[in-house]
Chains A and B, each alone.
Chain A
Amino acid sequence: MDEEPERAKRWEGGYERTWEVLKEDESGSLKATVEEILFQSKRKRVIESHGQVRLGMVSVSMEDHDLKPNRLTSTLKVDSAAQPSRCTPVGIITTKNKRAEKLTDLAGNPKKHIAALKKAVDTVCVGEPSLYNSLNLAIQTLKHMPGHTSREILIILSSLTTCDPANIYELIKTLKSLKVRVSVIGLSAEVRVCTVLTRETGGSYHVILDECHFKELLMLHVKPPPASSSSECSLIRMGFPQHTVASPTDQDAKPSFSMAHLDSSSGPGLSLGGYFCPQCHAKYTELPVECKVCGLTLVLAPHLARSFHHLFPLQAFIEGPVEELQEDRFCQACQGELKDKSIFTCPTCRGVFCVECDLFIHDSLHCCPCCIHSQSAP
């Protein structure tokens, strides 16, 4: 995404007391406490990131009244930023006016979701959302997923109220029995029913502080959850099609339709090149996808590599006080001086890193630079 999510513009922020942020924290030490807590949760995310690829589903719930006009927009913006890094099937459900609607079906291809979300920017949100209806719809979809997948629902809830046709606690029991994990990101405040929902199903519940925090929380959900021991293992057949482009000079080449566009009216129709299924030679312009003809899962190697990181994640680094370090206090990665009070040590190569690098390594690199270095050196 090109635009950097920044803090809201001053004039959009409403009445704020900026001078109070500067308050010395000897009396209540609130600021420091909250920041401390945030730091810890940052850390937690790194520790917990091992598990398997999951199957997810986003349910966006918005309401228009009382919100800053850009809250819906900013949600969608942040949301779509988060999508591409996920290589698993995702579906989106929206809820408004006491109903739940499926925005996109379960599918692995992020582009379609982004397009749908971009379109959704213009929708008006009216009426109360219904947590029950949207969860119910999500269950309908997730129920048929095979056992090796982890089923997960992420709810982004801006509303503080929900209009339900039946007792939601029954539904929570059903969710629990189906082993569906429900996590919630609240955009306004802590709602009791969400606390119960997440606690019962083993998900997490967070409330955003501002847009930056929102993105951070959303990214937290991009990582798959720890694998549950009950999930089964099974072999999946996969195809790795090559992208072939017929040269324009080739007279025999004829533009053809992509199979993926058969059912959707929009999108480009004819194209020359594409990915051809190794089994049945059906053509697709985008991957990953499930072949419409023979049902083979088609992926690219990088996709699999990305999944691999989630399957076999880098071990969490060991946190320790900076005083323990005898040698020069420099981060092995960025070469910056270690100023924070804690440092992070790779358990394999004993390399020392600062917080920022630790996060970067686990979030983006997925491998320890020192380990790689020692391997390549003879």
Chain B
Amino acid sequence: MKLNIDGLLVYFPYDYIYPEQYSYMLELKRTLDARGHGVLEMPSGTGKTISLLSLIVAYQKAFPLEVTKLIYCSRTVPEIEKVVEELRKLMEFYSKQTGESNNFLALALSSRKNLCVHPEVSSLRFGKEVDGKCHSLTASYIRAQRHSDPNMPVCRFYEEFDAVGRQVPLPAGIYNLDDLKDFGRRKGWCPYYLARYSILHANIVVYSYHYLLDPKIADLVSKELAKNSVVVFDEAHNIDNVCIDSMSVNITRRTLDRCQTNVDTLQNTIQKIKETDAAKLKEEYRRLVEGLKEANVARETDIYLSNPVLPDEILKEAVPGTIRTAEHFVGFLRRFMEYLKSRLRVQHVVQESTPQFLKDIFDKVCIDRKPLRFCAERLQSLLRTLEIADIADFSAVTLISNFATLVSTYSQGFTIIIEPFEDRTPTIANPVLHFSCMDPSIAIKPVFQRFQSVVITSGTLSPLDIYPKILDFRPVTMASFTMTLARTCLCPLIVGRGNDQVALSSKFETREDFAVIRNYGNLLLEMSAIVPDGIVAFFTSYVYMENIVASWYEQGILENIQRNKLIFIETPDAAETSMALEKYQEACENGRGAILLSVARGKVSEGIDFVHHFGRAVIMFGVPYVYTQSRILKARLEYLRDQFQIRENDFLTFDAMRHAAQCVGRAIRGKTDYGLMIFADKRYARADKRGKLPRWIQEHINDGSLNLTVDEAIQLSKHFLRQMAQPFRQEDQLGLSLLTLEQLESEEMLQKISQIAHQT
């Protein structure tokens, strides 16, 4: 259908539209009009993706000069594929409606592992191996060597692409990963490099967060994307953690050992080259004296996305003399490594700021701040000069040099923690140096600065105002949308007491309490008897789950549960978990019924949807607070308090509630779906917890279901499940939660729609 969104003609590829989608598009349009950033929360399963795509594509068509590109960032490969499929539908609708052929180029980009078509390289199992092998076939000096020695192995796909691929742009169309591969095979071009090259002129790019947030990758891939692009981060509730992870470095003894071998190899190669080809090293030296001027020019003309690892000041200066020659630099690395080794020989926990660390390193091994800052750049230059084929082997030394650059660049927002052992195994020495980023805004800042509109969206972003604070940006729109429903298909219940009136809680003091564990077991047992097919239960941590399950086993509760349903358990092992998941789904499918015990913040809670019968109920045992004794977390909380005036408790609750909302949100993946959401902890009833749940869940929690006993919850659930099992057809939704064009345009409906968005 064709919609009129605030004066903009939007083609929407479906015959019906949800009211909240309309409202969402209105808000999005406002964001784009203002050329600002937006934070939008809309429940999952209400068609967020297609609303985003339809509006932004329409905007691109209407104002081709103002918005040239849409950069859509998602988390996983399946999600990326889903986005491309929606886009394909949209484009088909466009060409059907307008009658003209489509001149849009949209493509997905993923790692080499997912795109490689080279018969040998693509059969490798790990992403790193593929990258390394690919590099060893396609690096420029390898190819240069091939001119003299035609027997060198080479990737014919890359050669072909390099020879002709750049002259002809990729024909307009929608390409998912498989389409790219097919195209690549047909033409004999490397799909990965083709995609990387094509994103520069594509209208829509769909790829993973890391291509934009991780400075190491962003520098390679996203540097030259146009300034007037719209960036969308989907499923962005964890974006701060992604930012932090991309800037943090952990160094263990193993890293240093591997680094040692790397440095030795470097040394040997330098020796060899010196004997054979001394001119090459001279050439490099000359280049370094000239400085990184070229890069600086490029950045000033605003072609590049700035790289937070490589701050502007570095570019203006030449590489300092102490590390300019190759031998000196290797010696410098050795000294730095020895210093780190000595630091790891600690018996107690050390925490210090970056200036303290720099001072210490200067006192002990006389390393100045300045050469440290050039470490990463210098290493890259050296690796290029030495023509080392397999970069993958040098990850350790790259890591160390990145660390050196970061530690000397940022005096704020980072902390260094050296722990001699893990908390859980205090007797085994396993020293780790955590260089931890505490300020997610550092990694994301270039994105906000460079692109005109950045939209952060997810099903669970509540409370909205905290994201602009911790990411340090100013949104022009912040809105939370509710789900309009023809029937109340979600049933959140807060179970605060057992049948014996014992307060249920996972808080530390009552964690070992026998009565609480028994009552939790009782709750699961009784739910297993009344909920059909699948139940997913979330615990706060693996340790807690182990304790409880062991205790249930002793009390015979597990045996009783197994009479009703089979039990599957998530473990930290990915292979085991995916096996359990597969069997769980099979059990749900053939009517036996199953329970999946898993952990909030685990793999299951983040990426896996439990549609329809795969998740008729989600039980959240306890409030999933992050492990508060961790020093990294403590440092981060302190930083948040000092820098952003966010109280520790507020942040912890926020973090716990967003994970809880993520977990229970797994059950409802659309309007025809239904599911129970059971919060088994009396603390959920408190306003400060409840108020942080997304609005679409919050509005279905009525005062009566705040502090239920197990019995009462069972009774309510039974009733709910029977109501939901009554036949439900599309006609029942029409006019209420599903609109045709005429219904949408009625005065009364527009009135209603204006209430859906909740501005903050």
Contact = CB atoms under 8 A, between A and B. Distances in A.
Nearest to B731: A40
B739 interface: no
B627 interface: no
A190 B725 contact: yes
A188 B593 CA distance: 14
Contacts of B366: none
A161 B592 contact: yes
Given A162-B592, A192-B613, A208-B722, A34 B529 contact: no
B701 to A, nearest CB: 13
Nearest to A208: B722
Nearest to B699: A27
Contacts of B529: 65-66, 160
Interface stretch (A10-18, A73-81, A228-236): A10-18
Contact of B487 (A30, A128, A192): A30
B352 interface: no
A238 interface: no
Interface string A9-45: 0000011110010000000111001101110010000
A192 B726 contact: no
Nearest to A36: B732
A160 B725 contact: no
B697 to A, nearest CB: 14
A13 B732 CA distance: 29
Interface residues of A, number: 39
A207 B724 CA distance: 9
B99 interface: no
Contact of A163 (B532, B592, B616, B704): B592
A241 interface: no
A207 B727 CA distance: 9
Interface stretch (A50-58, A100-108, A164-172): A164-172
Contacts, number: 105
A167 B711 CA distance: 35
Contacts of A131: 591
Contacts of B105: none
Q: Please indicate which of the listed interface residues B486, B593, B704, B716 has the most CB atoms of chain A within 10 Å of its own CB.
A: B593
B531 A192 contact: no
B590 interface: yes
A169 B485 contact: no
Interface in A121-154: 128, 131
A41 B486 contact: no
Contact of A160 (B486, B532, B712, B716): B532
B425 interface: no
A191 B590 contact: no
B590 A33 contact: no
Contacts of B530: 66, 160, 188-189
Nearest to A197: B591
A65 B727 CA distance: 27
Nearest to B592: A161
B20 interface: no
Nearest to A188: B530
A164 B723 CA distance: 28
B715 A128 contact: no
A194 interface: yes
B439 interface: no
A128 B613 CA distance: 20
B532 A190 contact: yes
Contacts of B727: 37, 41, 206
A209 B711 contact: no
Nearest to B486: A33
A72 B753 CA distance: 48
Contacts of A273: none
A209 B591 contact: no
Interface string B719-756: 10111111110001000100000000000000000000
B591 A191 contact: yes
Contact of B565 (A20, A161, A169): A161
Given A15-B715, A33-B487, A160-B529, A128 B721 contact: no
B308 to A, nearest CB: 48
A189 B721 contact: yes
Nearest to B721: A189
A193 interface: yes
A192 B722 contact: no
A186 interface: yes
B612 interface: yes
B715 A160 contact: no
Q: Main secondary structure on chain B at its contact with chain A?
A: helix
B718 interface: yes
A209 B711 CA distance: 19
A193 B563 contact: no
Contacts of B719: 16
Nearest to B713: A15
Given A17-B704, A128-B563, A164-B592, A191 B532 contact: yes
Given A37-B726, A188-B532, A209-B723, A16 B592 contact: no
Interface string B241-265: 0000000000000000000000000
Contacts of A33: 486-487, 732
A259 to B, nearest CB: 43
Q: Please indicate which of the listed interface residues B531, B590, B712 has the most CB atoms of chain A within 10 Å of its own CB.
A: B590
Nearest to A33: B487
B598 interface: no
B645 interface: no
Contacts of B564: 160-161
Interface in A313-360: none
Contacts of A188: 530, 532, 718, 721-722
Interface in B573-601: 588-593
Interface string B533-547: 100000000000000
A314 to B, nearest CB: 25
B475 to A, nearest CB: 30
Contact of A192 (B488, B588, B721): B588
Given A33-B486, A168-B590, A189 B532 contact: yes
A190 B724 contact: yes
Contacts of B616: 189
B725 A186 contact: yes
A208 B721 CA distance: 10
Interface string A61-91: 0000110000000000000000000000000
Contacts of B704: 17, 20
A28 B485 contact: yes
Interface string B598-619: 0000000000000011001000
A189 to B, nearest CB: 4
B593 A161 contact: yes
Nearest to A127: B563
Given A30-B488, A160-B593, A207-B722, A189 B728 contact: no
A15 B710 CA distance: 11
A20 B564 CA distance: 31
Contact of A193 (B591, B723, B725, B736): B591
B707 to A, nearest CB: 14
A161 B591 contact: yes
A71 to B, nearest CB: 12
Contacts of B592: 161-164
Interface of B: 485-488, 526, 529-533, 563-565, 588-593, 612-613, 616, 704, 711-712, 715-716, 718-719, 721-728, 732, 736
Given A189-B532, A206-B727, 12 more contacts: A16-B719, A30-B487, A33-B732, A66-B530, A128-B563, A160-B529, A162-B590, A188-B718, A189-B721, A191-B613, A208-B722, A209-B726
Q: What are the 4 closest A-B residue pairs judged by CB atoms, nearest first? A: A193-B591, A207-B725, A192-B613, A190-B725
19 contacts: A15-B711, A15-B715, A16-B719, A17-B716, A34-B487, A65-B529, A66-B529, A131-B591, A160-B533, A161-B564, A161-B593, A164-B591, A168-B590, A190-B532, A190-B721, A192-B533, A192-B588, A206-B725, A207-B722
Interface of A: 14-17, 20, 28-30, 33-34, 36-38, 41, 65-66, 128, 131, 160-164, 167-169, 186, 188-195, 206-209
